[in-house]
């Protein structure tokens, strides 16, 4: 289990499947969590199943299982009725196993629940910390998903609108056929738009919800502290936040608050969020000695800020206090040639690309990652091929624009 939780988050399902296959052989494994806005499904196994399983199917399965309970029986998954074994963790993360054959021995609920609980907790922890690697991967996935949905929506709307126009033509005399087909096409349009709406709900948080979650996350940090904390609520009609922005904003505010707390004579902390339509604006102030370690704080926040294209401003006045202002753009930078191809890179390639963007050579990257130069060379060749570029400099330029850089371990 240490090996399962230690690797890159997007590949955690594959590593977990290897462990569970020794105990309960299965054809496919799906982990579903709404915490991961970029890729809410973590999958491993048969491509025929994992490539076709939908969010709607997983939502229906999840809704039939109580927190901490299991389900063993037939369900619709990947467009077909199959026997499954599913577990809904107390943290609301769902595990689905599709057995290889009849006679599947159902997992022991306590053992499977304990193992999956470790995985579910790891996922929630990594997402809540919102490190630069997670944010870069999530933003790339979100951008690619949004682009694909937009293309599919336009394509299907044009097709169905054309069908409706044809069926409404007075040249057709089969009245009932026209009515039936028209109703079918109208229902398909409604369903398609509903799917787009559901995806937005999955990948976004209202600004008030994101702020409310922040208050809950700060409560344990402030327990036993003498300093009074005040929250200035964001406007209820503010623009929804992309999931990766909401996670990053909360993680950075926690970092700022933790930097405030060690100061002597700290009496008050005030946290305010706002949204100007294009950015989420965060301000944290304190009343205290004004002895904040600005350099250390900026270093801890720089990875996330650069990944998201954000800005920071820190002011400290001895004897009065500190003010930290953060500006996080809600939209990624305008896409440039090659940017959308970042979503085709696997987590290890993104990691290597982050080192390339800092100008490191293969030997230095290999030493940093603990792998051979020949393996690094293989990864670099794969990166160049997938990004459709001819040299490291071009790949680095794409990475820098997207904020994919590898930062010192102190970031985490």
Q: What is the CATH number of the domain that holds 357?
A: 1.10.10.10
Query: DSSP string of 279-339?
Result: EEEEEEEEES-----HHHHHHHHHHHHHHHT-EEEEEEETTTEEEEEEEEESSPPPP-TTG
Q: Domain boundary residue among 306, 329, 352?
A: 329
Same structural domain, 165 and 264: no
Same structural domain, 94 and 153: no
Same structural domain, 246 and 308: yes
User: Is residue 61 in some structural domain?
Assistant: yes
The domain total for the chain is 4
3-class state of residue 136 by DSSP: helix
| pLDDT for the residue numbered 408 | 43
| pLDDT for the residue numbered 15 | 92
| pLDDT for the residue numbered 154 | 66
Same structural domain, 37 and 105: yes
| Rounded Cα–Cα distance for residues 351 and 263 (Å) | 36
Same structural domain, 142 and 226: no
User: Is residue 313 in some structural domain?
Assistant: yes
Which mean pLDDT values do the consecutive 10-residue runs of the chain (412 residues) have? 83 91 91 76 88 86 93 92 93 92 79 93 80 66 59 66 68 66 69 58 78 88 83 86 86 90 87 90 90 86 84 90 92 62 81 86 87 89 89 84 59 36
Q: Domain boundary residue among 189, 204, 219?
A: 204
User: Is residue 117 in some structural domain?
Assistant: yes
Q: Domain boundary residue among 329, 364, 397?
A: 329
Same structural domain, 187 and 262: no
Q: Which residues contact 264 (CB under 8 A, 6 or more apart)?
A: 288, 289, 291
Q: How many helices and strands in the chain, by DSSP H and E?
A: 14, 12
pLDDT tens readout for residues 143-199:
655 655 665 666 677 667 767 766 666 666 666 667 766 776 776 666 666 555 555
Same structural domain, 350 and 300: no
| pLDDT for the residue numbered 412 | 34
| pLDDT for the residue numbered 16 | 94
Same structural domain, 79 and 157: no
Same structural domain, 307 and 379: no
| pLDDT for the residue numbered 18 | 92
Print the domain residue range for 226: 207-329
Same structural domain, 122 and 143: no
């Amino acid at each position: 289990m240490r090996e399962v939780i230690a690797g890159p988050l997007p590949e955690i399902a594959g590593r977990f499947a290897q462990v569970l296959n020794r105990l309960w052989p299965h054809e496919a494994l799906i982990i579903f969590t709404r915490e991961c806005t970029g890729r809410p499904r973590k999958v491993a196994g048969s491509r025929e199943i994992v490539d076709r399983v939908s969010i709607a199917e997983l939502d229906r399965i999840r809704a039939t299982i109580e927190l901490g309970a299991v389900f063993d029986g037939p369900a619709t998954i990947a467009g077909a009725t199959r026997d499954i074994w599913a577990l809904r963790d107390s943290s609301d993360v769902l595990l689905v196993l599709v057995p290889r054959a009849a006679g599947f021995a159902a997992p022991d609920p306590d053992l499977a629940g304990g193992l999956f609980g470790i995985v579910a907790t790891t996922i929630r922890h990594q997402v809540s910390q919102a490190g630069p690697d997670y944010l870069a991967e999530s933003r790339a996935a979100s951008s690619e998903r949004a682009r694909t949905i937009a293309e599919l929506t336009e394509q299907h709307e044009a097709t169905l609108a054309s069908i409706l126009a044809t069926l409404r033509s007075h040249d057709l005399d089969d009245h009932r056929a026209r009515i039936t087909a028209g109703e079918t096409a109208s229902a398909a349009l409604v369903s398609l738009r509903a799917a787009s709406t559901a995806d937005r709900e999955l990948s976004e948080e209202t600004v008030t919800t994101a702020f409310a979650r922040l208050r809950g996350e700060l409560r344990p940090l402030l327990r036993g502290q003498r300093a009074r904390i005040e929250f200035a609520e964001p406007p209820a009609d503010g623009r929804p936040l992309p999931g990766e922005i909401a996670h990053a904003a909360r993680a950075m505010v926690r970092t700022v608050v933790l930097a405030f707390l060690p100061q002597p004579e700290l009496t008050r902390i005030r946290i305010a969020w706002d949204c100007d339509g294009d950015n989420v604006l965060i301000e944290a102030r304190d009343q205290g000695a004004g002895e904040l370690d600005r350099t250390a704080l900026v270093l801890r926040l720089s990875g996330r800020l650069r990944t998201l294209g954000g800005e920071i401003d820190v002011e400290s006045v001895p004897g009065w206090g500190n003010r930290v202002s953060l500006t996080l753009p809600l939209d990624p930078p305008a896409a440039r040639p090659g940017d959308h191809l970042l979503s085709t890179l696997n987590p290890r390639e993104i990691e290597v690309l982050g080192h390339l963007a800092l100008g490191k050579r293969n030997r230095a990257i290999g030493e940093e990652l603990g792998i051979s130069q020949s393996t690094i060379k293989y990864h670099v060749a794969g990166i160049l091929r997938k990004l459709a570029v001819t040299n490291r400099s071009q790949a680095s330029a794409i990475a820098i624009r997207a904020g994919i850089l590898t930062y010192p371990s102190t970031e985490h």
